[in-house]
Amino acid sequence: DFLFFWGTVFLITTTLVALLKKENKELTPTKEETKGITDTYRLLFSIIKMPAVLTFCLLILTAKVGFSAADAVTGLKLVEEGVPKEHLALLAVPMVPLQIILPLIISKYTAGPQPLNTFYKAMPFRLLLGLEFAFLVWWTPKVKHEGGFPVYYYVVVLLSYALHQITLYSMYVAIMAFNAKVSDPLIGGTYMTLLNTVSNLGGNWPSTVALWLVDPLTVKECAGAQEQTCGTTVAAEV
């Protein structure tokens, strides 16, 4: 129902934009960024060859490795330990107003000459929250009882997620502000898209690797079969 409702809203709004919004044909751009796809990629290649851009790309591609496991695996592990998926999904609802308000607050600190200050100040707190998430996963089976989980457990999870959102958005808004600040105005769209794409990739590949490593790094024991090992997927199935 949730997906159906927002899918309908999305279709209606985009259709209205397509029908009612008209391009201003009188105003022509003073200078085109590029003339075609080939020129765009040639321009991107020339940007990424710049030493400062290359160094920055390497930094943002590896900056999120430290908390990739906590971000990608915590929710799955909580479900594995018996936390109902619908309860975790419900906890996302109070996060929505927080996600709207946080960029407005954080943007005040990233509007200055050094927006990345906010990025690196938030990093140690986000790393510490990774340890807190690990503790949360360890604590989950301890508080489980026949009726499910107590209310205070969900309060702790909600507070943990809220703190995580603060550090996440602090880093996200800071990196977006920096990308906007350093992009050349003449080729701003191409420049910013490149940096934002690399930034997004820097968050996605560590999460993918973390998820892939969960199974081989998980220690398994066989209950009631001392001679049987459960080290591999095949052995666990046997």
pLDDT tens-place string over residues 105-130 = 998 888 888 889 999 899 999 999 99
pLDDT band for position 59 (cuts 50, 70, 90): very high
Q: Which residues of 94-122 are buried (b: 16+ CB within 10 A; e: fewer)?
A: eeeeeeeebeeebeebbeeeebbebbeeb
Apex 189 CA angle, 186 and 191, nearest 5: 80
Cα–Cα dist 45/39, whole Å: 10
Residue with tokens 């205070």: 152
pLDDT of residue 170: 92
Q: Is the pLDDT of residue 35 over 80?
A: no
Apex 69 CA angle, 217 and 172, nearest 5: 165
Cα–Cα dist 107/118, whole Å: 10
Residue range 90-111: mean pLDDT, rounded: 88
Question: What's the whole-model pTM score?
Answer: 0.77
pLDDT of residue 28: 57
Please spell the DSSP secondary structure of the chain, one letter per residue. Answer: -HHHHHHHHHHHHHHHHHHH----SS---SS-S-SSHHHHHHHHHHHHTSHHHHHHHHHHHHTTGGGHHHHHHHHHHHHHTT--HHHHHHHTTTHHHHHHHHHHHHHHHHSSS-THHHHHHHHHHHHHHHHHHHHHHHHHHHH-BTTB--HHHHHHHHHHHHHHHHHHHHHHHHHHHHHHHHS-GGGHHHHHHHHHHHHHHHHHHHHHHHHHHHHHH-----TT-TT---SSHHHHH-
Structural contact between residues 48 and 194, judged by C-beta atoms closer than 8 angstroms? yes
Q: Report pLDDT digits (tens) over 202-213.
A: 999 999 999 999
Beta bridge mates, 148: 145
pLDDT of residue 27: 62
Within 8 A by CB and 6+ apart from 115, the residues are 174, 177, 178, 181
Q: Where are the domains of the chain?
A: 39-213
